[in-house]
Amino acid sequence: MKIKASVDYGIRTILYLAVKGGVCSSREISEEMTIPRDYLIQLALHLRRAGIIHTRPGKNGGYELAKSPAKISIGDIVKVFESDGKKSSKPKKRKLSAQASAVYGIENLVTESMNHYLGSITVADLVAAADEGGNPQAMLAEALQNEAERLRG
């Protein structure tokens, strides 16, 4: 599954800011993360509105995290770029067949599970897992296992 460029770039930007710490210029982030600078500036506007980053104007300005990496989940970042104002919902004007009802129920379960899983992975978790000796795959697998256990109830 391919994710949207805005989600990919948004995650890279936030992870870079978390790893680097402090204020980073748009030029630095753009060059280091291979994100077109004009696009990064647009993405940063959305991230700022969502309260994930702060912007610092001026010669030594740039972007920095607005809160601790432990308080920012991957789900938070995805939501910034996935909310396009279009909400799909089941039709309310007609009675649904048993099959249609089942499909809506399954789709809701998948969406809710993905949101819960991505919401359980923090930027701090990923940064710590990527540090020397860390194992990001194991950390992600554990989060997925926790979600599977939650679903089993």
Query: Please, are residues 18 and 127 in contact by the beta-carbon 8 Å criterion?
Result: yes
pLDDT in tens, 23-74: 999 999 999 999 999 999 999 999 999 999 999 988 888 999 999 999 999 9
DSSP state of 46: H
Residue 143, pLDDT > 80, answer yes
CA distances to 70, 113, 149 from 67, in Å: 8, 25, 30
- Predicted local confidence at residue 96, as pLDDT: 86
Which residues touch 113 (CB under 8 Å, ≥6 apart)?
Answer: 147, 151
| Residue 60 backbone phi and psi in degrees, to 5 | -105, 25
Residue in the block written with tokens 């770039």: 9
Instruction: For residue 135, give the CATH number of its domain.
Output: 1.10.10.10
Residue 93, pLDDT > 70, answer no
Residue 15 domain boundaries: 5-152
- Predicted local confidence at residue 131, as pLDDT: 81
DSSP 104-150: HHHHHHHHHHHHHHHHT-BHHHHHHHHSTT--HHHHHHHHHHHHHHH
- Predicted local confidence at residue 89, as pLDDT: 59
Total of domains in the chain: 1
Residue in the block written with tokens 């940064």: 127
pLDDT in tens, 99-141: 988 998 899 999 999 999 999 999 999 999 888 677 888 889 9
* pTM score, whole prediction: 0.86
